[in-house]
Structure 1
Amino acid sequence: MSFEEAKQILQMEDNGSTLYDHLASVLLKVITEKPSDAVTSFENLSVGCKEEKVTLPPAPEDSSAATGPVLDWASSTAALFVKPDEAPDGVPAPDLMKDATLYKWAGVSFGDTETYMLNLSLKKFCESLDGGYEAVKFWGKIITRDGDYFVCYGKTPEDPEEMDATKMEGKDGANKYTYFVTKSPSAPWVALPNVTMAQIVTAGKIRRLLTGDLEAAVPSFPPFPGVEKNLLRAMIAQITADTAIAPSGTFEADEDGANIIPAANEDGAPEPKTCEELLEAGNWQHYELRINTLGRCTALPEPEDAEDYEPPEGDGPAGLLESCGDEGEGYTTGWSFRPCPGGQGMTSTSCAKGVSLDWPGAYAVGGGNDFVNIYVGNGLKYAESTYTPPLPSAIIGEWSVPEEEADAEVEPGTFPIEAKDVTTDPTPPAEEGEEDE
Structure 2
Amino acid sequence: MQSGRANEGQKYDNECEKLKLKDELERSKHYLQQICPSSGDSLSHHLNEVLTKILKERPKDAIASFEKYSRELRAQKFSNQNRHLRDLYEPPPAYDEAKRLVELFKISPPGHGDYHSISTCHEDEESLVEMRQNAPDLQKLFYYFQQVGVALPRDDIVYLGLSIRKLIAKEKIKNVRFWGKIIGNPRNYYIIEASLTDEELQRRLEEAEVGSRLSVTTRSCTNESQELAENVALEQALATSLLNEAREAESIATVDDKARLQLVYPPMPKNPWQPTPEVAPEKIGTGANAKVYFVCNRPGLDGWTELPPVTPAQIVVARQTVYMFSGTLGKQVHTYPPFPGCEKNYLRAQIARIEAATHCSPLGYFTFGRRGARGEKDNDEFEQEDEEDDDDEEDDGEEGERRKEGGDIVINRHYEQPALKDLIDPSMCNWCHHSPYLLKQGRTVWLEPGKTEDEVDNASQDEYEGEDESEEGMDDDNEEERRSSRISRKAKELGYEKEIGPPLLTSLSEDVAADGAIPWSARLSSSAQPDVAVALLRSNIWPGAYTFAADKCFGNVYIGWGTKREAYNYSPPAMPPVQDQYVPASDLEFQEETDPTPADEEAWRISQLPPERDDEEEECVDDDDDSNPDPYDD
**Counterpart of 1:274 in structure 2: which amino acid?**
A
**Counterpart of 2:281 in structure 1: which amino acid?**
M
Find the aligned partners of 2:87 and 2:418 in 1 and give their Cα distance. 59
User: Which residue of structure 1 aligns with residue 304 of structure 2?
Assistant: 189
**Counterpart of 2:592 in structure 1: which amino acid?**
F
User: Which residue of structure 2 aligns with residue 236 of structure 1?
Assistant: 351
Equivalent position to 1:274, from 411, 419, 423: 419
**Counterpart of 2:417 in structure 1: which amino acid?**
P
TM-score (norm 2): 0.52
Q: Offset of 1:99 from its aligned partner?
A: 0.8
Q: Offset of 1:173 from its aligned partner?
A: 1.2
Whether 1:9 and 2:29 are equivalent positions in the alignment is: yes
Q: Kindly indicate whether the alpha-carbon contact (under 8 Å) linking 2:512 and 2:519 is maintained by their aligned counterparts in 1.
A: no
User: Which residue of structure 1 aligns with residue 95 of structure 2?
Assistant: 71
CA pair 208-64 structure 1, distance change in 2 beyond 3 A: farther
Q: Which moved more, 1:298-307 or 1:150-159?
A: 298-307
CA pair 315-8 structure 1, distance change in 2 beyond 3 A: farther
Higher strand share: 1
Q: Offset of 1:14 from its aligned partner?
A: 8.3
Find the aligned partners of 1:350 and 1:215 in 2 and give their Cα distance. 43
Q: How many aligned residue pairs are there? A: 366
SS of residue matched to 1:174: helix
Q: Which moved more, 1:95-104 or 1:220-229?
A: 95-104
Q: Kindly indicate whether the alpha-carbon contact (under 8 Å) linking 1:168 and 1:196 is maintained by their aligned counterparts in 2.
A: yes
**Counterpart of 2:407 in structure 1: which amino acid?**
N
Whether 1:358 and 2:541 are equivalent positions in the alignment is: yes
**Unpaired stretches in structure 2, ≥5 consecutive residues:** 1-17, 43-83, 114-123, 217-277, 370-397, 461-486, 596-634
User: Which residue of structure 2 aligns with residue 428 of structure 1?
Assistant: none
Find the aligned partners of 1:65 and 1:203 in 2 and give their Cα distance. 50
Equivalent position to 1:300, from 421, 430, 447: 447
**Counterpart of 1:174 in structure 2: which amino acid?**
A
Find the aligned partners of 1:127 and 1:269 in 2 and give their Cα distance. 33
Q: Which moved more, 1:103-112 or 1:282-291?
A: 103-112
Whether 1:129 and 2:129 are equivalent positions in the alignment is: no
User: Which residue of structure 2 aligns with residue 427 of structure 1?
Assistant: none
User: Which residue of structure 2 aligns with residue 338 of structure 1?
Assistant: 523
CA pair 9-269 structure 1, distance change in 2 beyond 3 A: farther
User: Which residue of structure 2 aligns with residue 46 of structure 1?
Assistant: none
Find the aligned partners of 1:178 and 1:233 in 2 and give their Cα distance. 10
Equivalent position to 1:226, from 336, 341, 347: 341
- Superposed counterparts of 1:316-335, under 5 Å: 316-328=500-512, 333-335=518-520
Q: Offset of 1:252 from its aligned partner?
A: 2.1
Q: Kindly indicate whether the alpha-carbon contact (under 8 Å) linking 1:106 and 1:363 is maintained by their aligned counterparts in 2.
A: no
- Superposed counterparts of 1:24-423, under 5 Å: 67=91, 69-84=93-108, 85-86=112-113, 87=124, 92-130=134-172, 133-156=173-196, 157=201, 159=205, 160-161=208-209, 162=211, 166-170=279-283, 171-186=285-300, 187-254=302-369, 256-257=402-403, 258-264=406-412, 268-280=413-425, 281-301=428-448, 304=459, 308-310=490-492, 312-313=496-497, 315-328=499-512, 333-342=518-527, 344=528, 346-402=529-585, 405-406=586-587, 415=592
CA pair 409-354 structure 1, distance change in 2 beyond 3 A: closer
Find the aligned partners of 2:502 and 2:195 in 1 and give their Cα distance. 20
Find the aligned partners of 2:541 and 2:530 in 1 and give their Cα distance. 29
Q: Kindly indicate whether the alpha-carbon contact (under 8 Å) linking 2:188 and 2:326 is maintained by their aligned counterparts in 1.
A: no
Find the aligned partners of 1:211 and 1:235 in 2 and give their Cα distance. 14
**Unpaired stretches in structure 1, ≥5 consecutive residues:** 19-59, 419-437
Q: Percentage identity across aligned positions?
A: 28
Q: Offset of 1:10 from its aligned partner?
A: 5.9
Superposition RMSD on alpha carbons, in Å?
3.4
TM-score (norm 1): 0.74
Q: Which moved more, 1:302-311 or 1:214-223?
A: 302-311
Q: Offset of 1:113 from its aligned partner?
A: 2.1
Find the aligned partners of 2:565 and 2:552 in 1 and give their Cα distance. 31
Find the aligned partners of 2:565 and 2:367 in 1 and give their Cα distance. 30
Find the aligned partners of 2:509 and 2:429 in 1 and give their Cα distance. 4
Note the alpha carbon deviations across 1:5-59, whole angstroms, 9 max, x for none: 345436736899x9xxxxxxxxxxxxxxxxxxxxxxxxxxxxxxxxxxxxxxxxx
Q: Kindly indicate whether the alpha-carbon contact (under 8 Å) linking 1:291 and 1:318 is maintained by their aligned counterparts in 2.
A: no
